[in-house]
Amino acid sequence: MRKDLTQCSVGRAVLPVLVALTLGLSAALAAPVPAVVGDWQGALNTGNSSLRVVLHVSQDKDGNLNATLDSPDQGATGIAISAINFKQPDLHFEIQRMGASYDGKINKDNSEIGGEWKQGGASLPLTFKRATK
């Protein structure tokens, strides 16, 4: 009987250590969050007017980037970005259904992305600034 009690006590002492190690290992193996993840605001100057755009970039549990775009002045939200790639400092995304793409570079302090919006043969400068909440 005493042997069973000792094994049970050891099991209780080892279990929290194993749980802590497992959680720590999971956190260490998780993909680091890229600097581009977050909300970004910019404005497209079309010559006659300016259109605000908001970029939302997230990362799923597998480390893949996902993004949507809003155009508040046009009442459009959640426009699906069909492809997004980020390799510090370069960002590229495409919106297939609009025939649009963006190529930019994030600055050193990760507060601004400067680049070019391309759509329908036009190329317009577009700078995104990190949105503050």
Looking at the structure, tell me whether residues 99 and 123 fall in a common domain: yes
What distance in Å separates the CA atoms of residue 88 and residue 101, rounded to the nearest whole number?
18
| pTM of the entire predicted model | 0.76
Looking at the structure, tell me whether residues 16 and 74 fall in a common domain: no
Looking at the structure, tell me whether residues 26 and 42 fall in a common domain: no
Looking at the structure, tell me whether residues 12 and 61 fall in a common domain: no
Q: Summarize pLDDT for 57-73 with one digit per residue, the tens.
A: 999 999 999 999 999 99
Q: Residue type for 70, please?
A: D
Looking at the structure, tell me whether residues 24 and 5 fall in a common domain: yes
Overall domain count for the chain:
2
Task: Kindly give the confidence (pLDDT) of every residue in the chain, 133 residues in length, as a single tens digit, with 9 standing for 90 and above.
Answer: 555 555 555 455 554 554 444 444 444 455 688 999 999 999 999 888 999 999 999 999 999 999 999 999 999 999 999 999 999 999 999 999 999 999 999 999 999 999 999 999 999 999 999 997 6
CB count, 10 Å around CB of 86? Answer: 20
What residue numbers bound the domain in which 114 lies? Answer: 38-130
What distance in Å separates the CA atoms of residue 14 and residue 2, rounded to the nearest whole number?
18
Q: Are 69 and 57 in contact (CB under 8 A)?
A: no
Looking at the structure, tell me whether residues 56 and 75 fall in a common domain: yes
